Structure 1
Amino acid sequence: MFSARVYRGGFSALLLLLFALPALAQSFRVQCPDNTVLHPKSSAGVVSDGIKCQQISGGDGYSTMGDGTQTYMFSFGPLSGLADIKQGLPGTEPSSVFNTLWPYPIHDGVHDVSTFNGAVGLVPDPDAGGAITGHVDPRPIMDVGVMNGNIPAPTMAIDEDDEFFLTLTNVGMIMRPDLFEKHTVHFHGYPNASSFYDGVPDASVAINIGGSFTYYYLAPDAGTYFWHCHITPPEHLQMGMVGQIYVRPRQNRVPTGASLYAGLQAQQNDLRTRCGTDILCSTPLPRVDNGATHQLNKSGSPTLYAYNDGDGSTAYDVEYPIQIHGFDPNFHFVGMTFNPEPFTDMKDKYFLLNGRSYPDTVTPGPMSTQVSDGSAHFSQPLPTLINIPLGGKALLRISDLDVTEFQTLASLGIPMHVIGINARLLRDMSGNDLTYYTNSITLGGGESIDVILDASALDASGNFRYPAGSTYYLYTPNLDHLSNDAENFGGLMTEVHICGAFDPITKLCK
Structure 2
Amino acid sequence: MMNMKSLRLFGLRKHFLVALVMAIIWVTPLSAVGAETISAKKFQLYATDGYMTLPDGKQLYIWGYSLKDEPGSATVPAPTLEVNEGDRVEITLTNIGPKKTGIKQLAHTIHFHGLDTDQLNDGVPHTSVAIQVGESFNYQFIAKKAGTYFYHCHVDTIEHLQMGMYGAFIVKAKNGINQAWTGGPSYDKDYVFLLNEIDPLWHQAVEEGKSYDRTDFHPRYWTINGKAYPDTEKDPTSFIEGKVGETVLIRIINSGYESHSFHMHGYHFQVIASDGRPLPEPLTKDTVLIGPGERYDLLVTFDQSGMFPFHSHNIVDNTNNGTYPGGLHTMIDVTENKADRSPMIMTIRLKTGRNSVTVNSESIQLANSPVAINGTTYVPFRFIGENLGAAVKWLPKEKSVIYTKDQTTIQLWLNLKQAKVNGRLISLPTPPKEIKGSVMVPLRFVANQLEAKLDKDSKTGEIIVTGKMSVASEPSQHSHDVGNSGDGATNNGTLGNGNNSAGTIDPGTSADLLTIDITTSFMPTKLTIKKGQTVKWVNKDTQIHTVYDLQDKFKSPNILPAGQFSYTFIETGTYTYYCSVHPSMVGEIIVTE
TM-score range, shorter chain: 0.5 to 0.7
Alpha-carbon distance between aligned partners in 1 of 2:243 and 2:41, rounded to the nearest angstrom: 30
Change (3 A) 1:172 1:390: same
Alpha-carbon distance between aligned partners in 1 of 2:64 and 2:101, rounded to the nearest angstrom: 13
Q: Which residue of 1 aligns with 2:433?
A: none
The structure, 1 or 2, with the larger RCO (C-alpha pairs under 8 Å, 6+ apart) is 1
Change (3 A) 1:345 1:176: farther
Q: Does 1:53 align with 2:42?
A: yes
Alpha-carbon distance between aligned partners in 2 of 1:154 and 1:361, rounded to the nearest angstrom: 17
Q: Does 1:329 align with 2:200?
A: yes
Deviation at 1:453, TM superposition (A): 1.8
Q: Which residue of 2 aligns with 1:352?
A: 223
Q: In the TM superposition, what are the counterparts of 1:196-345 in structure 2 within 5 Å?
A: 196-250=120-174, 304-309=178-183, 312=184, 314-345=185-216
Deviation at 1:55, TM superposition (A): 0.8
Aligned with 2:308: secondary structure? strand
TM-superposition CA deviations, 1:347-401 (whole Å, max 9, x none): 2110000000011011146xxxxxxxxxxxxxxxxx3011123310111111111
Q: Which residue of 1 aligns with 2:84?
A: 159
Residue type matched to 1:438 in 2?
Answer: K
Aligned with 1:147: secondary structure? coil
Residue type matched to 1:393 in 2?
Answer: T
Residue type matched to 1:61 in 2?
Answer: G
TM-superposition CA deviations, 1:426-481 (whole Å, max 9, x none): 02xxxxxx1111111111111111011211xxxxxxxxx313xx211111111111
Q: Does 1:505 align with 2:343?
A: no
Q: Does 1:416 align with 2:340?
A: no
Q: Which residue of 2 aligns with 1:398?
A: 252
TM-superposition CA deviations, 1:280-338 (whole Å, max 9, x none): xxxxxxxxxxxxxxxxxxxxxxx6101134xx5x2110111110000001111111001
Q: Which residue of 2 aligns with 1:71?
A: 60
Alpha-carbon distance between aligned partners in 2 of 1:50 and 1:426, rounded to the nearest angstrom: 30
Alpha-carbon distance between aligned partners in 2 of 1:153 and 1:204, rounded to the nearest angstrom: 22
Q: Which residue of 2 aligns with 1:104?
A: none
Q: Which residue of 2 aligns with 1:476?
A: 312
Aligned with 1:344: secondary structure? coil
Deviation at 1:59, TM superposition (A): 1.1
Change (3 A) 1:488 1:231: same
Q: Which residue of 2 aligns with 1:440?
A: 287
TM-score, normalised to structure 2, is 0.51
Deviation at 1:505, TM superposition (A): 2.6
Change (3 A) 1:493 1:48: farther
Aligned with 1:414: secondary structure? coil
Q: Which runs of 5+ in 1 are unaligned?
A: 1-34, 42-46, 80-140, 254-302, 366-382, 428-433, 456-464
- Asked if 1 retains the 8 angstrom alpha-carbon contact of 2:85 and 2:172, the reply is yes
Change (3 A) 1:498 1:38: farther
Aligned with 1:331: secondary structure? helix
Residue type matched to 1:172 in 2?
Answer: G
Q: Which residue of 2 aligns with 1:62?
A: 51
RMSD value over aligned CA atoms? 2.4
- Asked if 2 retains the 8 angstrom alpha-carbon contact of 1:160 and 1:249, the reply is yes
Deviation at 1:64, TM superposition (A): 1.1
Deviation at 1:50, TM superposition (A): 3.1
Residue type matched to 2:271 in 1?
Answer: V
Aligned with 2:52: secondary structure? strand
Change (3 A) 1:361 1:40: farther
Alpha-carbon distance between aligned partners in 2 of 1:453 and 1:195, rounded to the nearest angstrom: 37
Alpha-carbon distance between aligned partners in 2 of 1:422 and 1:352, rounded to the nearest angstrom: 20
Change (3 A) 1:489 1:48: farther
Deviation at 1:73, TM superposition (A): 0.6
Q: Which residue of 2 aligns with 1:37?
A: 28
Alpha-carbon distance between aligned partners in 1 of 2:42 and 2:325, rounded to the nearest angstrom: 39
Q: Which residue of 2 aligns with 1:466?
A: 304
Alpha-carbon distance between aligned partners in 2 of 1:412 and 1:364, rounded to the nearest angstrom: 20
Q: Which residue of 1 aligns with 2:473?
A: none
Aligned with 1:174: secondary structure? coil
Q: Which runs of 5+ in 2 are unaligned?
A: 1-25, 340-404, 410-421, 423-449, 451-469, 471-593
- Asked if 2 retains the 8 angstrom alpha-carbon contact of 1:39 and 1:50, the reply is no
Residue type matched to 1:52 in 2?
Answer: K
Alpha-carbon distance between aligned partners in 2 of 1:348 and 1:503, rounded to the nearest angstrom: 36
Q: Which residue of 1 aligns with 2:74?
A: 149
Residue type matched to 1:321 in 2?
Answer: V
Deviation at 1:36, TM superposition (A): 5.0
Alpha-carbon distance between aligned partners in 2 of 1:242 and 1:173, rounded to the nearest angstrom: 17
Residue type matched to 1:148 in 2?
Answer: S
Alignment size in residue pairs: 318
Aligned with 1:316: secondary structure? coil
Alpha-carbon distance between aligned partners in 1 of 2:215 and 2:297, rounded to the nearest angstrom: 32
Aligned with 1:237: secondary structure? helix
Change (3 A) 1:503 1:351: same
TM-score, normalised to structure 1, is 0.59
Give me the identity figure in percent: 32
TM-superposition CA deviations, 1:258-296 (whole Å, max 9, x none): xxxxxxxxxxxxxxxxxxxxxxxxxxxxxxxxxxxxxxx
Alpha-carbon distance between aligned partners in 2 of 1:176 and 1:348, rounded to the nearest angstrom: 26
Greater strand share, 1 or 2? 2
Aligned with 2:208: secondary structure? coil
Q: Which residue of 2 aligns with 1:426?
A: 279
Change (3 A) 1:222 1:38: farther
- Asked if 1 retains the 8 angstrom alpha-carbon contact of 2:46 and 2:65, the reply is yes
Aligned with 2:204: secondary structure? helix
Q: Does 1:180 align with 2:171?
A: no
Q: Does 1:488 align with 2:335?
A: no
Change (3 A) 1:364 1:39: farther
Alpha-carbon distance between aligned partners in 2 of 1:179 and 1:67, rounded to the nearest angstrom: 29
Deviation at 1:491, TM superposition (A): 0.4
Alpha-carbon distance between aligned partners in 1 of 2:51 and 2:248, rounded to the nearest angstrom: 31
Residue type matched to 2:249 in 1?
Answer: L
Q: Which residue of 1 aligns with 2:575?
A: none
Residue type matched to 1:466 in 2?
Answer: Q
